[in-house]
Amino acid sequence: MVIPWLVVGALASGVASVAFLRYLWAYRTKPGARFFIATIACEALWSVSYGAALLVFDPRLRQVMEIPIWLAINFIGVFFLAFALEYTGRGSLVRSKWMGALVALQTVHTAVVVTHPLHRFALNDYTIEPLLGAATVTYTHGPWLFVNVTGVILTIAAASFLLFDTFFSYGPLYRTQAAAVAISPALPGIAFLLWLLEIGEFWRANLTSLTFPIHLAF
C-alpha cells in the first residue's frame, strides 16, 4: 500500500507539532505560554485529523472526521489571540466578556459546520473527489462558512497586529521573538485562502496543515 504524500505531509506536521508541544511544556508558566501551547495543540489536532481523514473514502465517515478538523480551525484563532493579549500585557482582556463572546461565537460556528447534513447552512453537496490517491473532498461553501472563516482570519490578524505593536513599541529586547511569531501565520493563511477560494491546481487539498512546520520554525 502506497500512502499518498498528502497524508504523509499532514501526519508529519502533526508529529512536528506534538514534538514542539513537548519543547514548549517547560515554558508553560511564562506569560501567554498556556495559550500558545493550546494554539499548537490545535495545529496538532488539525494535522493528524486531516491526515487520517485523507485515508477515508466512505462519505459518511469522512464527514464525521471533519469534526476535529473544524474544531481546531475555529479555536486556533481564539487561542492565538489570547496568547497575544497575555504576552503583550493585556491579560485582563482574556477574561473579559468580549473574549467570552468570541468563544461562544466560535462554539456556535463549530456546531453549525459539523451538523451541516441536518441544515446545509455552511456547506452543501459534500463529495469525495480523490486527488493524488488521497480522499480529498469538494463542497459548496455556504455564506455561513465564509462568515465563519472570516472570523478566524480576523482573530489571527488581530493577534499578529498586537505582536507587531510590541515589535515597534517595546524596544529591542523581544523584537526578534515578537516579529517571528507575528509573521508565522502568513504561509498557513495563504494556503487556507487558496483552499477556501478554490485557487490553483490542488485546491481540493487543504494544504494548510502541511505548512505548519514552517510556522513552527518561526
Write out the chain's pLDDT in tens, 218 residues.
688 999 999 999 999 999 999 999 999 999 889 999 999 999 999 999 999 999 999 988 998 999 999 999 999 999 999 999 998 888 888 989 999 999 999 999 999 988 887 777 888 888 999 998 999 999 888 888 888 999 999 999 999 888 888 777 766 666 777 777 778 888 899 999 999 888 888 888 999 999 999 888 88
Cell readout for 22 is: 513537548
Pick from 190, 178, 188: nearest CA to 209: 188
- The model carries a pTM of 0.91
Q: Which amino acid is at 197?
A: L
Give strand pairing partners of 127: 138
SS3 134: strand
